[in-house]
Amino acid sequence: MTETEISFADKATLVGNLVLLRPVGVADVPGLLELLRDPESARMTGTHMDSEPDARAAEDWYATRAEHDDRLDLAIVERAGGAYVGEVVLNELDPVNRSCGFRICLVGPRAFGRGFGSEATRLALTHAFETVGVNRVELEVYAFNPRARHVYEQAGFVHEGTKRQALRWDGEWVDAHLMALLASDWKTL
């Protein structure tokens, strides 16, 4: 394998103490729809929903995720009961620069504050850095989401800059903070 030949073609299953991360599938669509319908999850991700989520579009989306080698879409499943509690995604893989994006969303209050997001973040980052071999993982987090920013900082992400007034939410402008984690930082955590 040459230095630039990295991909997310291997759709791994990652196991933690609280959660299992597995490739998303059509069976996860009810959980995705719950996530999309939750007002707090939509707010934290800056997702404007003008209408009811389209179940057929969600099925088509989840059915095709395994076909993409530039992203890894994983369902976050609570190990104790097997319930879908969210998704974590490594996306926008740039193999030449060995970088990718990161995003995570939980289904709402039933999943918040239980450690699922923190563990899913650590599992996904371990996979990105130690298995795939990326050098940089980056994300954006909105200023009104300090809970997520805290999780990212605990995982080692560093604030690199602010996109001022990047989101319009309920008539107010909200900044987006760019954060990143490098492989060299990851190794020292």
| In the chain, where the domains are located | 14-187
Q: How many residues can be counted in the chain?
A: 189
Q: What would the pLDDT profile of 145-177 be if each residue is shown by its tens digit?
A: 999 999 999 999 999 999 999 999 999 999 999
E strand or H helix at 14: strand 14-15
pLDDT for 109 equals 85
Looking at the whole model, is its pTM more than 0.85?
yes
Domain spanning 14-187: CATH superfamily: Gcn5-related N-acetyltransferase (GNAT) (3.40.630.30)
How far separated are the first and last CA of the chain, in Å rounded?
Answer: 27
pLDDT for 2 equals 52
Helical residues (DSSP H) of the chain, grouped into ranges: 29-37, 39-45, 55-63, 116-126, 146-155, 183-188
E strand or H helix at 173: strand 172-182
Residue 85: CA count within 13 A, CB half-sphere? 24
pLDDT for 3 equals 58
Residues of the chain with pLDDT under 70: 1-4
